[in-house]
Amino acid sequence: MKNSFKYIYINTVLLLILGLSSCDKQLSEMPANARVEGTAITDEKTAQIALNGVYYQFANMDATNNVTKWDYHNVSGGMLAGTIGYAAGVLEDELNNNVQAGYPSFFWAYCYRVINAANGLIEGIESTDAAKYTGNRRNEILAEARFLRAYANFKLLMFFAEWKNLDSENGVLLREELSSLSNISKKRSTVKESYEHILADLTFATSNAKASNPNYYATSWAAKAFKMRVLVTRGTSADLTEVVNLANDITQNGPFVLEQNLKDIFQQKGLASKEVLLGVKPQANQEASYYILSNAYRIAASSIFAAKGYYRDLLNGDPRQSWMIGPVSPYVSYSPNTYYFTKFIPYGTLATQTSETQYAIRLSEVYHLKAEAIIRSQTDLTEAKTVLKTVLAKSGLTDFSFIDNATTREQLWKINTMEVLKNFSGEDAIEWYTLIRMPIAVVTSIKPTIVRDEQFYFPVPQKEFDLNSQFGNQNTGYGI
């Protein structure tokens, strides 16, 4: 089987090669030749090249315009949760009409591109001599690849599997080898198996990834934080305990620090902020392109996005409103009660490298995940309140009476969730993941168009059933 991968075509399989030198090369930099002859991965140097190719997929590089494209990552969650909308008409995503929703369907193809690239790298490394690598570099590269595979599989779990039902047969279609016509037919795994596979990859990454790396590459710390996200979603008693332990490890032993002023992350520092565990670095001169997310938020591009009135109302009396929400949208007649979304790019300004930076994991989320785990697993809410106050103080809040006055687990869990909606809208669907972990009745009270558990996930694209006869059943509520 290994010999079937002797020739790996960059543009059709991994879309990878970024040059033979530093991993800091721009993602669009291609080699002189369009094909790697012989076994693509033969040693540490070629493995590093292939790893860069996995990051190329993770960043969703648009090679035509030489820009990273995280539009779908960042606006889909806000649309579903009610904070962000299309600026020139209401989309089905905003109404939680999951059959007709357009943005989540992007993730099916995106995630399998990341997974396929990661699998090609993992397979290539495991077939080469360990002596070809210096020190622990072999396992470090494997750890980054497995982290990125876990990232993609978790997104598939959250969008296209019945992730909330641990007994469901309808989990992720887990692929562990480079895709070919001979292995395209495969049955989807159960939800339980999906969690176990994702967590196994993350456990390997926490133990083997570098502790120190530029924060647009994965580290053991990023793996620990992402593992927290997965564990709190599965939500067993043991999982919630581990979430708290991981949070303590990151906050007490890691090199990350909450940004003193939340606004500075997005409008001044970007990846230079010590709060960012993992982000997506824009390409050189990306800010000059027309086809970028900054211009979409400026309502000056082919796709345009706005903050919804609901989001503005959430921030009434809150210092974040002054810099996250701008004037009324110029297309308010098409999308009533919408405003400029100015969290990442101030109103009236032009795009910059900072405004084009994307955020996958921030330290603030570690605090919110810890608070949620404590709230859901412990009767004493004192520590959870302290955690919340610590992170929210960086948002400019000074009056925490609404936290002090919460007397029940349900009240404090909702407060934590609403603060994530305020702080994380526009950041890789974190606000959506956080919202739908709550009981359906609470979710409905926050987003009235969500009335069934089946709206917490989406139908598997029909094309998968057409091509993969062994896949299994469509998700519950979307039967074919």
**What average pLDDT score do residues 343-369 get?**
99
Q: Where are the beta strands (DSSP E) in 333-465?
A: 338-341, 358-362
DSSP for 128-145, written as a single string: S-GGGS-TTHHHHHHHHH
Query: For residue 71, what are the CA distances in angstroms to 84, 442, 448?
Result: 12, 28, 25
Residue with the two structure tokens 């520092």:
269
Q: Tell me: the pLDDT tens digits for 376-388?
A: 998 899 999 999 9
The reported pLDDT for the residue numbered 172 is: 99
What element of type H or E holds 36? Answer: strand 35-36
State how far the Cα of 297 lies from the Cα of 295, in Å rounded to an integer: 5
Q: Tell me: the pLDDT tens digits for 83-117?
A: 999 999 999 999 999 999 999 999 999 999 999 99
**What average pLDDT score do residues 399-425 get?**
98
Sorted by where each begins, the domain ranges of the chain are 44-280+358-458
The reported pLDDT for the residue numbered 448 is: 98
The reported pLDDT for the residue numbered 480 is: 54
The band of 15, judged by pLDDT with boundaries at 50, 70 and 90, is very low
> Mean pLDDT in the chain?
92
Q: Is the pLDDT of residue 413 over 90?
A: yes
Q: Tell me: the pLDDT tens digits for 234-261?
A: 999 999 999 999 999 999 999 999 999 9
pTM: 0.93
C-alpha 457 chain-centroid distance: 16
Q: Is the pLDDT of residue 428 over 90?
A: yes
Q: Is the pLDDT of residue 27 over 50?
A: no
Q: Tell me: the pLDDT tens digits for 277-288?
A: 999 999 999 999
Higher pLDDT, 324 or 37: 324
Residue with the two structure tokens 């519950």:
476
| Angle of the 220-234 helix axis to the 363-377 helix axis, nearest 10 | 30
Q: How far apart are the first and last CA of the chain?
A: 35
What element of type H or E holds 249? Answer: helix 237-253
In CATH, which of 2.40.70.10, 3.20.190.10, 1.25.40.390, 3.40.50.720 is domain 44-280+358-458? 1.25.40.390
Q: On the CB side of 227, how many CA atoms lie within 13 Å of its CA?
A: 30
Q: Tell me: the pLDDT tens digits for 198-221?
A: 999 999 999 999 999 999 999 999
